Amino acid sequence: MNLVFLQKDDGTGGFQANNPEHRLLWDDIESKVNAMYTNFSDQEDVLCYAWKDPFLSEAKIRFEFNRIYIKDSYAWNRRNYSNYWGGAGEVQCPPLDYIEYLQTEIETSYPLGINVFFTEDPEIYEVYQYCEHFMNADSILPEVFGGWGCSEFPTDDSHSQIHMPDTYSKFLWMKYIVPIRDTTPWDRSGNRNVWWWEVNSLAASLAHELGHSLDLHHSCNHYSTNQCAHALMHQGNINNEHSHNYLPPTEIGKIHYSLSTTKLKNFVRKDLEPVSTLEISTNLVWDKDFRSYTHIATKSTLTLNDCYLTMPSQSHIDVSGHLYIRNSDVSCVLEDGTWNGIRVKEGGVLWLENTTVSDYDIVMEPGSTLVLKGELNVANNHKIVVGDGCYVCASSDFQVAGSSKSFSRMGNIRSGLKPGTVLLHDNACDASGWTRFCNASSSTPSVLYVQNQQITSNQTFVAKEIVVGSNVTSTKPSGPVTIENGAKVTFISQDGTRFEKGFRCEGGSFKVLRSAE
């Protein structure tokens, strides 16, 4: 989140970067906003939630705040709205069209995020800038209508913005007038002092507007507008009746859906590592661009259809059900980064149709099925490792557009589907229009990659070139594992290739040792 504190050209009229009290106030407000999204209280009131799913005490979301201070009298003055209606309490909150130039500047010069603009009505500020000089009860001014806000849900085409008008004027009133009126100190030494009143009030307003930016509304499927007194999205001021400390779990789900599918996904830190696994246990279709923050395990069927999925680095996808990647791409959320790829378990099915494997590898474990259709582009020396006993079927129009090192075979490959396998698409690998692919007895690959492999029987690797990575071991009952005379073998393990008992090289074998012992 970018907190954009606007000032007049001379630097007055708003919160100051060099003012210790201002900085401390916003430290407390930012901390309170995060606390509101991480400490929800359950509610028994049926007006809040008509039926019960397991209550979620937090939204699993944290906000990182950037404070930006800009001197710009035109942007500071909210009366420059194109449809300004009047004084305090009467102005509506349209998009900030009059500072479009500033929106663009911020999005190109500062971290991408939800921009929160703090503007002022100059007529209101003209009065309240002198609050500190009204030091007796007879001079008390009426309360300024400030500290409220409005927001805009970020679509792919719009800015992501919140507007908090007259917040600085309200701060002046709270600091200098309220302590006299209520004979209550301003300082932060006690939790009932005016300082915390201001912190809690502004934090509640900001947290509420953030909810709108995350696609929450005043009403939801469980309650109508302002029906649930304690809901975060209730429009009442924060007090004993309106604590703003409750969200149904369905609304938390909306937040995460927005963070995965809308422009908001560009605002989340890209260096986050997955700490949990999203299990797909029902059939799902993702047909819009999606950012994942977790590992993914498909126990049922997940179809990526005309979409772009980004994964965290160090994440992986395990397939024990079906995964269809059709006219879609999967890549690391980090530019020029990699992720840990797709591993298809025994009985799992991976369908690749018109896709690119550019920053990850695919490992087909024995007993899994690989279906290939259309064009497959394998780039940047990544590969698909097809294990012994896998089932592979490819359409007659299938073609590989990437490197000749795309496929690695380990043993015999079976054409067609594993008996009993049911596909959603083109459920007939043996029908006309399909062809056998990667059968060990009928073709010789250009390059065979071998790693994480234990050789347990008489097994022959056939290829023009064999590339050996790490974790290649032998548990043969008897006899050596022989690298035959004339074979071209490249060892590429970054931490050294170790030959354990059972390996033997015949004289004349051609070896290229790269970063190996």
> Do 7 and 83 sit in the same domain of this protein?
yes
pTM, full prediction = 0.77
* 484 and 390 housed in the same domain: no
In the block, tokens 């995060």 appear at 34
- Convert the pLDDT of each residue in 399-451 to its tens digit: 777 554 566 665 567 777 777 788 877 655 655 556 545 433 334 555 565 66
| 93 and 206 share one domain | yes
Domain count, the chain: 3
Pick from 447, 453, 507, 510: which is nearest to 476 by CA?
453
Residue 171, C-beta contacts closer than 8 angstroms, at least 6 positions apart: 15, 25, 198
Structure tokens at 227: 């029906």
pLDDT digits (tens, 9 = 90+) for 455-485: 666 556 656 666 666 566 676 656 666 666 6
* Same domain for 469 and 439: no
| CB-CB contact of 179 with 219 (8 Å) | no
**Tens digit of each residue's pLDDT (9 = 90 or more) over 199-253:** 999 999 999 999 999 999 999 988 899 999 889 999 877 655 678 899 999 999 9
Mark whether 146 and 242 lie in a shared domain: yes
DSSP single-letter state for residue 483: E
Determine the structural domain holding residue 109 and report its residue range: 2-253
Query: What distance in Å separates the CA atoms of residue 217 and residue 215, rounded to the nearest whole number?
Result: 7
Name the residue among 309, 308, 283 with its Cα closest to residue 294. Answer: 309
Residue 184's CATH number = 3.40.390
DSSP 135-194: -SGGGPPPPP--S--EEE---SSS--EEE-TTHHHHHHHHHHTHHHHHT---STTSTTSH
Digit-coded pLDDT (tens) for 378-398: 888 788 888 778 888 888 777
Can you tell me the distance from the alpha carbon of 287 to that of 293, in angstroms, rounded to the nearest whole number?
18
The answer to whether residues 291 and 263 touch, using CB atoms and an 8 Å cutoff, is no
Last residue of a domain, one of 253, 285, 308: 253
Contact 340, 316 (CB under 8 A): yes
What is the per-residue pLDDT for 416? 74
350 pairs with which residues across the strands?
323, 370
Distance in angstroms (rounded) separating the CA atoms of residues 206 and 199: 11
Alpha helices, DSSP H, located in 48-162: 73-76, 100-109, 122-128
Residue 264 falls within a domain, yes or no? no
Residues forming a β-bridge with 352: 325, 372
Total length of the chain: 517
Alpha carbons 490 and 379: distance in angstroms, whole number? 20
User: Does 310 lie in the same domain as 205?
Assistant: no
Do 43 and 49 form a contact (C-beta atoms < 8 A)? yes
